[in-house]
Amino acid sequence: MSDAPSGLRRKQRDPWPPLRPGIGAWWRDHLRIARETMHFVSARLGTSLVVWLLVGIALALPSGLLLLQVNLAKLTAGWEGRPGLTLYFELSASAEQVAAAAKVLEADEAVEHVVITSREQALEEFRAYTNLTDALDLLSDNPLPASLNAALRTGLDETALAGLVALAESRPGIKEVVLEKTWLERVNDISRVVSRLGIILGVLFGIGAVLVTATSVRLAIEARLDELRVQKLVGASDRQIRRPFLYFGAFYGIGGGLVAAMLLSLCLVVIEAPLTALLGSYGQQLDTAGFNPVFLVALLLVGAFLGVMGSLVAAAQRLRDLEIL
């Protein structure tokens, strides 16, 4: 075994060691490239602004839908209401049939309590809530059916609800069974639609952001072609040649994320007044859940990720086409 120090042995094996190996050189190279990239981006501010705007719009729409979904979910999270079941009877149904149906439903564990509204009560309520008293007097008979409203326990799943509806429909004298959903339940349904729409749009606009960045990076590659060739000539590695464009992508993506955050803020300012009024009518207060520092950082990171992806696509393809790599 040789007595030579390991450094010397390595030098003997390798006639061309890196001029400055190690983490320090790697770090300095990253700093240099970040500085040069910022200079390049700021020197072409017009182009950079357009890219930031395009990426920002691509990020803003799915992010906005995500915020909407988060807020809808929060709106319904503290809700204590519950669905109801309303049975409308035939006009010919007897009071005994109505009472029997009420008894059957009350016996079911899913039902909290039952309220019967007779034909006469329905007519009285109708008179009380409308101005059609004179018109009703002209009718020879009461046109309103008896009904039964069952308040259900919370947390019932679809199967339990379907079973309850089937049970009600099996009773004699029943004309129609309506499973009532409150407006908040509908909001939940809308929230699910928004969530899925957000995912679809997120994927589509994400691809859009990648393509926008890739196109911009391709232009940057063309603009720096001479420099890339010289860099290769003087010993830049493939990674070093590719690295500035990854920084381009990251800068474009982060810039796009900032633009998206600004667009969302603007949207919130614009819709704040009508939204406050709408929520107020349901006894709710405006609370833009989700639009917080974590969301903003995530927006910037997603932008940077998409930008770097676009850069990787463009750099790999274009630099190989130009025989730089």
Footprint on this chain of another protein (rule: CB under 8 A): 15-20, 22, 24-26, 28-29, 32, 226-227, 229-238, 240, 325
**171 vs 242 by CB, closer to another protein:** 242
User: DSSP assignment, residue 310?
Assistant: H
Query: What count of Cα atoms within 13 Å lies in the side-chain half-sphere of residue 218?
Result: 14
**22 vs 293 by CB, closer to another protein:** 22
**23 vs 269 by CB, closer to another protein:** 23
Query: Which residues partner with 270 through β-bridges?
Result: none
Distance from C-alpha of 52 to C-alpha of 46, rounded to nearest angstrom: 10
User: DSSP assignment, residue 153?
Assistant: P
Residue with tokens 């899913």: 110
3-state secondary structure of 88: strand
**134 vs 226 by CB, closer to another protein:** 226
Distance from C-alpha of 217 to C-alpha of 252, rounded to nearest angstrom: 9
Smallest distance, Å, CB 317 to another protein? 17
**176 vs 238 by CB, closer to another protein:** 238
3-state secondary structure of 150: strand
**143 vs 235 by CB, closer to another protein:** 235
Distance from C-alpha of 232 to C-alpha of 243, rounded to nearest angstrom: 13
Smallest distance, Å, CB 213 to another protein? 24
**259 vs 324 by CB, closer to another protein:** 324
Distance from C-alpha of 232 to C-alpha of 225, rounded to nearest angstrom: 11
Smallest distance, Å, CB 219 to another protein? 16
Smallest distance, Å, CB 322 to another protein? 13
Distance from C-alpha of 156 to C-alpha of 165, rounded to nearest angstrom: 12
Smallest distance, Å, CB 9 to another protein? 16
Query: Which residues partner with 176 through β-bridges?
Result: 88
Cα 285 to chain centroid, rounded: 21
Residue with tokens 């429909």: 169
Smallest distance, Å, CB 214 to another protein? 23
Q: How many CB atoms lie within 10 A of CB 202?
A: 18
Smallest distance, Å, CB 23 to another protein? 10
